[in-house]
Amino acid sequence: MPASAGPTDHVFIEGLEIDALIGIYDWERRVRQTLVFDLEMTFDNRVPAASDDIAHTLDYKAVSNRIRDYVGASGFGLVETLAERVAELVLAEFPVQRLRLKLSKPGAVRGARAVGVAIERSRTA
């Protein structure tokens, strides 16, 4: 593997539950539904590991709070749109090179635990 390939370290957030207005049906626009976010973010952990200083880390609490604030104030019709906007936000505001995001909408389809989307996005140069 070439030295310039970049880090393969990941910081993850699993099962981040956020209540939001989401959906295309009238009844969905009247109630907040719980969405579940799973994120895996590519971040070079060597610097914080060497310094043992939280200031050098990817602050997953800050990422979680920012997503919670954004999603809680949103009102998109489609989970696809919300997933794209959250991915854009994380890549723009945090030192993340690549992001894998899974957005689940539990209980949306009878007989299924959850439905949703999973996307992967990278920072543009």
Question: For residue range 54-112, what is the model confidence (pLDDT) as tens digits?
Answer: 889 999 999 999 999 999 999 899 999 999 999 999 999 999 999 999 999 998 889 98
* Span 18-66, pLDDT tens digits: 999 998 888 877 888 999 999 999 999 998 999 999 889 999 999 999 9
Give me the CATH number covering residue 11: 3.30.1130.10
**Active-site annotation, residues:** 105
- What domain range is 55 assigned to? 3-122
pTM of the model: 0.89
SS3 per residue for 64-120: HHHHHHHHHHCCCCCHHHHHHHHHHHHHHHCCCCEEEEEEEEECCCCCCCEEEEEEE
Number of domains in the chain: 1
